[in-house]
Amino acid sequence: MAFIDELKFDQDGLIPAIAQDADSGEVLMVAWMNREAVEKTCAKGLAHYYSRSRKKPWLKGEESGHLQHVLEMRTDCDGDVLLIKVRQESGACHTGYRSCFFKLRTSDGGLREDGVKAFDPGKVYRKALPT
């Protein structure tokens, strides 16, 4: 597939992928993809990523049910970053927020939560969540 052949994966065979809400433009998350994850995403229309900790591809939402329906995939000018425009079911962040980018730097240099909580992760995952 020409699109995949043009991508520049890093020395570990990975490429960063930015998931963006196709309607609002909100950045939902950043993850990694290997060639297999890109191929599955293109073939199935659902976002697949690569887990560096588990060392395997995974379907976004496989555990939570919060799938990302892919509407468009783009690459940057160098071919070393992907932008994936999606329709997100519920929240993208494992902490329950719609976006992983819910922490805001305040004017005094602090940090506060500033996002939309989409679901209760304790009920969805039924286990202790990593921080």
Asked if residue 117 is part of any domain, the answer here is no
Say if residues 120 and 96 touch (Cβ distance below 8 Å): yes
The residue range of the domain holding 35 is 2-90
Asked if residue 74 is part of any domain, the answer here is yes
Q: Within a 10 A sphere around the Cβ of 15, how many other Cβ atoms?
A: 22
Asked if residue 127 is part of any domain, the answer here is no
Whether this prediction's pTM lies above 0.75 is answered by yes
The CATH number of residue 24's host domain is 3.10.20.810
Asked if residue 24 is part of any domain, the answer here is yes
| Domain total in the chain | 1
- Left, alpha or beta for 123 (phi > 0: left; psi -120 to 50: alpha)? alpha
Query: In angstroms, what is the C-alpha Rg of the chain?
Result: 15
Residue 127 contacts by C-beta under 8 Å, 6 or more apart in sequence?
Answer: none
pLDDT at 130: 53
Asked if residue 40 is part of any domain, the answer here is yes
SS3 of residue 94 by DSSP:
coil
- pLDDT tens for each residue of the chain, 131 residues long: 799 999 999 999 999 999 999 999 999 999 999 999 999 999 999 999 999 999 999 999 999 999 999 999 999 999 999 999 999 999 999 999 999 999 999 999 999 999 999 999 999 998 655 55
Asked if residue 53 is part of any domain, the answer here is yes
Asked if residue 107 is part of any domain, the answer here is no
